[in-house]
A and B are shown apart, each in its own frame.
Chain A
């Protein structure tokens, strides 16, 4: 990656935070009813003022704020987990789903949809599925006696394939739920509001903070196992801690938004362009970039083909893929 653009945190952190707030305000204004940024700000800051339109307050607070906050958190969580896995597995190809979280979440959600468990049943099943799949992958790796990160990656890939196959089979066998399962798999924030935010927000934030605490172990793990051990890093403990925090974040993000691809892969690469690879900086920078990207993408998803809502996962892949390719070429990536 190019590194000549490297900026100090004092520069990029305020820029990203301010951009996120501005994009968030714009995002609160778009949809079936368009609100000017000034009206959004007024509804946010002075909801009970007599000069504020009550409809604006309802739209902002009841309909859109939770969704925008959730988009920001999910984007941040996917990006943070992606950055952590890219560091720990020492591959730029890693994303949050690399050790089986996506397969587990898909199976959990599919079973909940088929079993007609409504309400928060689907996100909860997705969360549980993701955590169980990661635990299984980790357990298999430990039990097999293979202690390398590569073994973990391979086990994750193998289990994901199996779980995806089961999901496909279940979809084929249940015609009437196929559409709902499919749209969940595509990932999206349609219809998400305060209950989903309250459910996914805490584990997401907890996982992200955890990852930030493990920034220095991640730096050491990036240099390879032998190097990390010679610095006295307890390898298995460190790996387990990173996997636990990253998976908590991923599972919570998937529960809220389904399988939203690309953000967790690309946001860390974008962040590395300006903040370098030290995880103490990379993790918060990736989280902010991921939040920004997903809030933007979700705004577009709501408006591009209105009144139809696009699944945001489709949009991130459609717009993000080419952008990512362009970035790799521009950056002179090895």
Chain B
């Protein structure tokens, strides 16, 4: 199967500190790929490198065989969208904010047309934001803002969607809704979805494949069953865990055991 998005030998540094050290990653069409790993493993940096926001020191990122650094910013934003975690909000209405996701299609100078308004409407519907469309994004709760950022990425109508911690700050209902949406986008609409998650069980539930990152390297890449082993997770996260089976679908469930490490 051909890869939509591929990273090879990716090395990145932030303020001189190496963060990614030779990452190789291949994203297939129509799959959800979850990136997991401890804090500081380089998950967000990897998403930034994949979306051409961070220039790597070495290695390449290719989008359907083309080096992303050879693609102009606007065409790239039509094919690939990032829903960042720490996005800054400013007082636009939800609809205006999500409408910015249409700029890659409409250009920066022309007003939005019917097609754009339909795309915005669809993005608002899929993220449950219709009742909030006239509200200022700065007045929304953290969880609502996460959905606004996701909606803006959806309005870009990309083939590849990169989601950085999309379920952080969301209540259980919207966690389930966002993960369900990610799966539908991949399996029904054929998008490639790369998603970083801290909750390993959520990751196991949503992902077709997962990549375990630590210290800027991919330690394991495969199905949730292959990656979420007690040995691999215990050593990577430096906590003792057991892995059992989900009673309904048999997917792996990771649980802490024994004494939890103290903060020193």
Residues of A within 8 A of B (CB): 1, 3, 90, 213-214, 216-217, 219-220, 222-224, 226-227, 229-234, 238, 272, 276-278
Contacts and interface: CB of A to CB of B under 8 A. Distances in A.
B103 A232 contact: yes
Nearest to B54: A226
A236 B83 CA distance: 22
Contacts of B156: 231
A216 B100 contact: yes
B84 interface: yes
A227 B104 contact: no
A281 B229 CA distance: 55
Contacts of B104: 231-232
Contacts of A222: 90
Contact of B136 (A3, A220, A226, A229): A3
Nearest to A90: B90
B73 interface: yes
Q: Is the interface of B mostly helix, strand, loop or mixed?
A: mixed
Interface residues of B, number: 30
A213 B87 CA distance: 25
A232 B96 contact: no
Interface of B: 48, 51, 53, 72-78, 81-82, 84, 87-93, 96, 100-101, 103-104, 108-109, 136, 139, 156
A238 B77 CA distance: 16
B100 A231 contact: yes
B136 A216 contact: no
Contacts of A3: 91, 136, 139
Contacts of A1: 91
Nearest to A218: B108
Max count, chain A CB within 10 A of own CB: residue among B75, B81, B88: B88
Max count, chain B CB within 10 A of own CB: residue among A214, A217, A277: A277
Contact of A226 (B73, B84, B89, B91): B84
Contacts of A234: 73-74
B84 A230 contact: yes
Contact of A230 (B51, B91, B136): B51
